[in-house]
Structure 1
Amino acid sequence: MSAARVDARAATFSAALGAELLQLVRSTVVRVATAVLVLVVPLLAVGFAAAAEHGGDSTLALKVRPMVPGTGWDAVTGLSGQVLAVAALLATGFVVSWSFGRELTDGTVEPLLMGRASRAELASAKLLAVVSWAVVACLASVAAALVLGAATSPGAGTPWPGAARAALGGVLVALTALPFGLVATWGRGALAGVGGVLGVVVVTQVVTLTGAGPWFPWAVPGLWLGMGGAGVTVSAVQLATAPLVAAAAWLATAWWWDRAELTGR
């Protein structure tokens, strides 16, 4: 392929990516998901950590204290990662389902396919836009937790490397949500993808209870962040299953969009 042709394809993909990012910015679904990750998650994490450390014998303190990993900054960053592990899967799953499903339910897929970008490029642009949003949202969530944590004077320890671990865990969880874009395409609507997300959340709980969680990609990041307790260990190989799921989902979605009949019912 000539350099001119490569430049042309890159420009076409950049235009498709820009359009998808603009759609995310304008979407109410994405705004709500962002608010959950950037506002609700830090408030819950820091609030629970503060209650456990400073709540004395209050009912809330007694309930949350067994869930809090350590004290001081360890509690703040640990809880941030654990809450984010749940919220990032749900939020990213809903967003990627909306991104793919709305094209089919709103009838916008046909004009979309008439553009210069190929079908595979369109699918990749959607996935890259969602991943970019998820990474920024996870980083902002942890940053907000650090700001709120500093305001509550957590005391002992340092926020590093716990904050980096929480952010990385959140991103890994978000990556495991990419298959739901394909589910939404198969189901011809966002609700199919949302149903898939909720189903995986339930299955994850069951798999974790059976002890097989370290080999289940959707459970691995949460267990790595401490949701399974101190007795559960996650190896680097097991942790790598999360990005592998994302890569497989990306290839499968691009392949399906390139070949499937998307305009009919």
Structure 2
Amino acid sequence: MNYFIAAFGVEMYKLRRSLVPWLTLLFVMAVVSQEAGQPDWHSYLSGAVYRFTVLGSIGFGFLTSWLFGREYAERTLKDLLALPVSRLNIVLAKYAAVLVSCVLITVILFVYVLGLGMMVGLPGFSGDMIWQALGLFALTSIFNMLLCTLVAFIACWSRGWLAPIGFVFLTLILALSFGPSAVGPYVPWAIPALQTVPFSSGGTGAGILNSVSYIILLVAGAAGFAGTLAWWRYTDQR
């Protein structure tokens, strides 16, 4: 446990010294700010949740790509492996750092969304609606963090951060292309956005997802996580 804590502290230090988390936060803030011109709170929150869910996945994916791919791009992997810390602890520490960073970004963004809506003076404020939006922010963030495990695996497999960023944009295209179709509930990257449909329709729309959708999402996240662990455990590091 002490080795994991030490490795986690190092990963968080890298993030604190980097502009990547701040650029990610600024990106998602800019994305949701475009909804400030909506006529009421419900339209504003619906748009903000959707934009954060769809385009915020780019920010989470970019952060994950950088954290897992920088060791290869900056050729510091050999130095990292020379430390008296197991590869398992290194991978878990990186995932924990991604998790903490994404949670903080989500919390800060939600506070920003509320503050911006109040500053603009939108009508139709409702406490229940705010709680629903908060739940969706949290749930879709968890969904996107699950899918980030695949981004981490691509970063390790490709030994860099350009391929996983390309993978993030490819999955965004897949989500936008197949999301409105009948196969949307079975495409992992379309599932987070489809989760927002009942809220966007004011509670009158039926949920599109089913139990199979959530199973697919969990399997995709588990596959990425297991693949990353297996890569670090069994693949020769060159």
TM-score after normalising by structure 2: 0.88
Whether the 8 Å contact between 1:131 and 1:175 is mirrored in structure 2 is no
Map of 1:41 onto structure 2: 31
Map of 1:67 onto structure 2: none
1:237–1:157 distance in 2 versus 1, CA, 3 Å? farther
SS state at 1:177 partner? helix
The superposition leaves residues 129-166 of structure 1 with CA deviations (integer Å, 9 ceiling, x where unpaired) of: 11111111112111110111112222214122223223
1:28 aligns with 2:19: yes
1:147 aligns with 2:118: no
SS state at 2:170 partner? helix
Whether the 8 Å contact between 2:195 and 2:208 is mirrored in structure 1 is yes
The 1-side partners of 2:180 and 2:197 are apart by 14
Whether the 8 Å contact between 1:98 and 1:190 is mirrored in structure 2 is yes
SS state at 1:116 partner? coil
1:81–1:243 distance in 2 versus 1, CA, 3 Å? farther
1:203 aligns with 2:174: yes
Map of 1:247 onto structure 2: 222
Map of 1:130 onto structure 2: 98
Equivalent positions of 1:69-218 (< 5 A) are 72-158=40-126, 159-218=130-189
How far residue 190 of structure 1 moved from its aligned partner, in angstroms, is: 0.3
- When the two structures are aligned, how many residues end up with a matched partner? 231
- The structure having more radius of gyration, on CA atoms, is 1
Deviating 4+ runs (over 6 angstroms): none
The 1-side partners of 2:91 and 2:140 are apart by 25
SS state at 2:131 partner? coil
TM-score after normalising by structure 1: 0.80
SS state at 1:40 partner? helix
The 2-side partners of 1:154 and 1:171 are apart by 28
The 2-side partners of 1:29 and 1:162 are apart by 26
Extract unaligned runs of 5+ from structure 1: 1-9, 54-71
Between 169-178 and 13-22, the greater mean CA deviation after superposition: 169-178
The 1-side partners of 2:146 and 2:37 are apart by 26
1:220 aligns with 2:191: yes
1:80–1:188 distance in 2 versus 1, CA, 3 Å? same
Extract unaligned runs of 5+ from structure 2: none
The 2-side partners of 1:146 and 1:198 are apart by 28
Q: CA RMSD in A?
A: 2.1
The 2-side partners of 1:137 and 1:240 are apart by 26
The superposition leaves residues 194-232 of structure 1 with CA deviations (integer Å, 9 ceiling, x where unpaired) of: 111111111222222432111111111101112997466
The 2-side partners of 1:146 and 1:243 are apart by 30
Whether the 8 Å contact between 1:42 and 1:148 is mirrored in structure 2 is no
Whether the 8 Å contact between 2:157 and 2:231 is mirrored in structure 1 is no
Whether the 8 Å contact between 1:204 and 1:219 is mirrored in structure 2 is yes
